[in-house]
Amino acid sequence: MAVTFVRKEMLPQQPPPSSQVGPVRWVRENLLSSPLNIFLTLAAIYVIYVIIDHVGPWLMNSVWNAGSLAECRQILAGESGACFAVINDRWRQLLYGFYPSDMYWRPNLAMVLLLVAVAPVLFDKLPRKMIWFSAVYPFIAFWLLWGGSLWLPLAVIAGFAIGYAVFRGLSPMTNGALAVIAGALAALIWWFVAAAAVSDVLQSVIPLGIAAVPSREFGGFMLSIIIGVTGIALSLPLGIMLALGRKSDMPLIKMICVGFIEFIRGVPLITLLFTASLLLNYFLPPGTNFDIILRVIIMVTLFAAAYMAEVIRGGLAALPRGQYEAADALGLDYWKAQRLIIMPQALKISIPGIVNTFIGLFKDTTLVVFIGLLDPIGLSNAIRADSNWNGIYWELFIFIGACFFIFCFGMSRYSMYLERRLKTDHR
């Protein structure tokens, strides 16, 4: 006897309904899922339409080839349109400042080498041996950008070698902290006392170098990248040390770190820049020539390091106590525990805050305009002071904003990639 309600044949697999897959499903779930979302979606569409309706014709009717704002207006013949001819006319100045045009190859080469230097730091699939080039790159970039004797950056590198040699020689005879302090003092003595004299002697014997470019000719996005990249590279390790110092059990170290962090966080960056520009020379020996860009880099780095320390301290506080106990159970000393167990997890937790600090630091480089350095904003003011381009505003600021957006958006995208790659949970 056959049982009619039992299926004897399987039906072929059917595709899901079109309303449950693809763009249709995304629109239903994200834009039209409730009356409030429907209203907000329609309002957003209307706002976008109004912006495109007003800005679109102005952008589409752009003039790219003209020698002045008056010539742009003649070409437009009374119609509304953007005069991007100022970008076509002054893009070199916006990118390089007043750097000699016959030496553009030097900042261009430094930029290409920068990408090579950061690649092994950002992507772990590249050969680890490339990290040696990343360590040497700052000295190569300094020599390419500022020029002068090749012996000076080599003498600075020699200072690190001397400090390391002193550290290695004293490590077996004393504890690690004293060896580190002795190595640092040896390097500082070499840099401030002997490096310049030794490099001058070597230059007189074996002249090696390229034409020097003074800092007053630096400007534009080149200046912003120099300050931003250097501040980012130096503020992260300094911020890590400040965060560890703030959590230290040694009262003196903790007091110094807390005082530094709270002082820097309580003072506006513009005040520190004015201090670097105007007041610092009063505390230096007479005749000392302390480069203004170097002073700005130091102040920007210290400012970012204080905020970085608090971000990393938040990551350290988020770790459960069991991680510290596990490091102790494995018999690891303090530095090995931090390097192998504690700090990797804390940095992973702190990635959004770290990248946010980096982005803020890069945008804050525009504040150097107030101390006389011609960053892109300062150059835009100088360009608008020219009678040929007097009265132009939006086109310059749109270009500058777009360039800053590209850099900042790239950093945010990389942080999201890094978070996905380091994700260890399976939710």
List the Cα angle 159/165/169 in 5-degree steps: 150
Q: Which region among 54-63, 110-119, 353-362 has the lowest average model confidence (pLDDT)? A: 54-63
265 or 331, which is more confident: 265
Dig out the tokens for 323 from the structure: 């991680």
Dig out the tokens for 317 from the structure: 């506080």
Distance CA 162, CA 156 (A): 10
Distance CA 42, CA 27 (A): 13
Q: Are 306 and 406 in contact (CB under 8 A)?
A: no
Q: What sections of 332-393 are H helices per DSSP?
A: 334-337, 343-349, 351-364, 376-385
**Nearest CA to 308 among 238, 378, 246, 375?**
238
Evaluate if residue 1 carries a pLDDT over 60: no
| pTM across the whole model | 0.84
Q: What domains does the chain contain, in order, with CATH numbers?
A: 148-210 (no CATH), 216-421 (1.10.3720.10)
Q: Are 264 and 235 in contact (CB under 8 A)?
A: no
406 or 371, which is more confident: 406
pLDDT of residue 308: 93
Dig out the tokens for 311 from the structure: 């971000």
What's the helix, strand, coil split of the chain in %, to 5?
A: 75, 0, 25
**Can you tell me the mean pLDDT for 56-74?**
87
Average predicted confidence (pLDDT) for the chain: 86
Distance CA 206, CA 166 (A): 28
Distance CA 369, CA 388 (A): 22
**Can you tell me the mean pLDDT for 399-404?**
92
List the Cα angle 335/340/345 in 5-degree steps: 110
pLDDT, one tens digit per residue, over 198-248 is 888 888 888 888 999 998 899 899 999 999 999 999 999 999 999 988 888
Distance CA 400, CA 377 (A): 8
pLDDT of residue 82: 87
**Nearest CA to 269 among 241, 227, 324?**
227
